[in-house]
Structure 1
Amino acid sequence: MRLPDKDSPWATGLFLALVGLLGGGLMVLASWHATPYIDDNERRYLLSMLTAVAPEGFDHLPADSAEFLDAPEWFPVGGGVTVYRAYREGAPAAAIFDVHAPDGYTGPIRLLVGVNARGTVSGVRVVSHRETPGLGDGIEVERSPWMFGFDGRSRANMPDGQWRLRRDGGGFDQLTGATVTSRAVLHTVHRVLEFHDTHRERIYPTGTREEGRGDE
């Protein structure tokens, strides 16, 4: 069999095809090798975020024990919510909700909302978003303290009618220049509290729930 001349289009095409196959193979190999490290980093990041919104005093927070609760009427994005539980002395001390605010300015905003057993917010953090840089990204705690305004809030010390922005007649300040983003986060945190108070039997397993164990 006669090989094509090295200067012919056939030779060039064959060379490029071999380079492409080699490059693709190396990329697959690199991806396969890196996947465990990427998964481990993502796991560590999630655990750090869960810890940030959990109440003080918990002694166990298993990141691999997430439970999805089907509730499309409450949480339209994804059809429900993923719940992690923080424990103290073997009993659930808090529930941490992995949820999406569906009405952000540029799309859904993924949040972690920690709620202790008494129904009080222990922390709120943003996992991911696409809000406008310089305005909506103030929901990141590294850029603004606005998120800390939810800490210690509950439906007991903040009536349902006050879970609105001050400009809407409620009791919460907004992020400057980011009204839509502020409303989206506020509405979702309140929704999580309502769900927590309404569906405690689904959130805390029967026989292990201890009312009032959470911190104020």
Structure 2
Amino acid sequence: MIRAISKNALALGAAAAVCVAILSVVNQQTAPRISEQRLAAKLAILSEVLPGVEAGQTLLQDCLQVTDETLLGKNTAQTLYRWRQDGELSAYIIETTAPDGYSGNIDLIVALTPDGTVLGSRVLNHKETPGLGDKIEARRSAWIFSFSGKTVTADNANEWAVRKDGGNFDQFTGATITPRAVINAVRNAVLYVQQHPELATLPANCTD
């Protein structure tokens, strides 16, 4: 009886070891491909918010990890990229979060010029209601493009709101909380850059 149990235990142990070895080999073979896909997805979204620019390794390497819970929506680091042309800073691309979406956090990325003009914006992740709040996605509606060309100044704070609140941006029928949250997040991302001129000269500190 004991011998039978020992044999079964050895067989199970051997099978487990083989499975672990196989998984290890598979992970080693697929890891580069997964990494390539993630890189391609990141470059694609950066190119979307930065019109006319083919994003590449230079842009990815010139980046900072920044934290500001009040203006960037969470107490952990967000990534900020700097785009330079002929050595001159031309744009920032910053990740930010709207913490007050209808169904939770809405993660975004916003491209803007150093003077505070929005070049482009996209939603990265959200849990908003399908058919209502998901109109913040570029594939669902053109609403997210309404920020492009808009500038944040000390005098136009009231314009950065949905029309229901007296602002210049459309709300969604049956869903005002979601667009309101996104508008505030985009505006706050611009304010963050405007309030931190040192971002232009800080040494890059991204590790990925």
With normalisation by structure 1, the TM-score equals 0.80
Residue 74 of structure 1, CA deviation: 2.6
CA distance in 2, matches of 1:171, 1:113: 19
CA distance in 2, matches of 1:64, 1:147: 27
Residue 39 of structure 1, CA deviation: 1.4
SS at match of 2:101: coil
Deviates more, 1:75-84 or 1:37-46: 75-84
Corresponding residue to 2:156 among 139, 159, 162: 159
Give 1 or 2: higher helix fraction.
2
Corresponding residue to 1:41 among 26, 37, 42: 37
C-alpha RMSD of matched pairs (Å): 2.7
Residue 204 of structure 1, CA deviation: 1.5
SS at match of 2:92: strand
Q: How many matched pairs? A: 201
1:56–1:119 Cα change, 3 Å? farther
Listed one character per residue, the Cα deviations across residues 165-184 of structure 1 (whole Å, up to 9, x for unaligned) are 11122221023333222111
Residue 100 of structure 1, CA deviation: 1.5
1:158–1:41 Cα change, 3 Å? farther
CA distance in 1, matches of 2:153, 2:54: 23
CA distance in 2, matches of 1:33, 1:21: 19
**Structure 2 portions without partners, runs of 5+:** 203-208
> In the alignment, is the contact (CA less than 8 A) between 1:146 and 1:175 conserved in 2?
no
Residue 197 of structure 1, CA deviation: 2.0
SS at match of 2:90: strand
Corresponding residue to 2:135 among 138, 152, 163: 138
Percent identity of the aligned residues? 31
SS at match of 1:37: helix
Q: Which has the larger radius of gyration?
A: 1
Deviates more, 1:150-159 or 1:188-197: 150-159
